[in-house]
Amino acid sequence: MEDELITRARDGDPDAWRDLYESLTGRLLVWLESRPSGDVLTAPDDLVAETWLVAARSIADFEGDRDAFAGWLFGIARNHVRAARRRTLRRATAPVEPATLATVIPLRPPTEPGFAEEVSGADWTRRALLSLPAREREVLTCTEVAGLSNQQTAIALGMTPTAVRVARHRGLSRLRRTLPVAGLTAPR
Query: Would residue 105 count as lying in a domain?
Result: no
In a domain, 18, yes or no: yes
88 and 132 both lie in a single domain? no
Residue 167 lies in a domain: yes
Q: How confident is the model at residue 109 (pLDDT cuts 50, 70, 90)?
A: very low
Q: What is the mean pLDDT of residues 80-105?
A: 62
pLDDT number for residue 181: 57
Same domain, 27 and 85: yes
| Whether residues 133 and 59 fall in one domain | no
User: Mind listing the pLDDT tens digit for each residue in 126-135?
Assistant: 777 888 888 9
Which ranges constitute the DSSP H helices of the chain?
4-10, 14-33, 44-58, 66-91, 98-101, 115-130, 134-140, 150-157, 161-182
Assess if residue 118 is contained within a domain: no
Residue range(s) defining the domain that contains residue 32 = 4-93
CATH of the domain at 36: 1.10.1740.10
Residue 106 has pLDDT above 60, yes or no: no
Look at the chain and report how many structural domains it folds into: 2
- pLDDT (mean) for 46-73: 92
Contact 85, 100 (CB under 8 A): no
How many other C-beta atoms can be found within 10 angstroms of the C-beta atom of residue 42?
21
- Domain end residue (candidates: 78, 93, 108): 93
User: Residue 187 domain-assigned?
Assistant: no
**Coil, helix or strand at residue 86:** helix
Compute the distance between CA of residue 96 and CA of residue 85 in angstroms, rounded to an integer.
14
